[in-house]
Amino acid sequence: MAQVNKSKNHNEPTVELGTRKISKMNFSYIVTLPKCFVNSPFGAVTKVKRTMLEDGSLLLTPIRQNSDPDDFSVF
C-alpha cells in the first residue's frame, strides 16, 4: 500500500509505492510502473526521463503528452 513520507531533499511529500521486481528482457531490464503514476490526475504519463543521481538512485521524471502529439511537458 502507498505510504506518504517527507522527501530527504525537499519539503514535498513523497509516496512510497513499494518494491518492484526487475525482469530481464533480451539485453535490457524491465521494471513495471504503478498505475497511479501513469494515470495521475495531472495527465497520463507517456514517457519518463531517466536520471541517475550521485548516490546511485534512479530518478524517473514523468513526461506527459499534451493535445498536440509533438508537444510534451516535463513535470
Beta strands 13-16 and 23-25, pairing class: unpaired
Q: What confidence score (pLDDT) does residue 67 get?
A: 47
User: Using one digit for the tens of pLDDT, what is the confidence trace for 32-53?
Assistant: 988 888 887 777 888 899 999 9
Domain boundaries, the chain: 3-74
Q: Is pLDDT at 57 greater than 80 in this prediction?
A: yes
Least confident of 1-15, 44-58, 59-73: 1-15
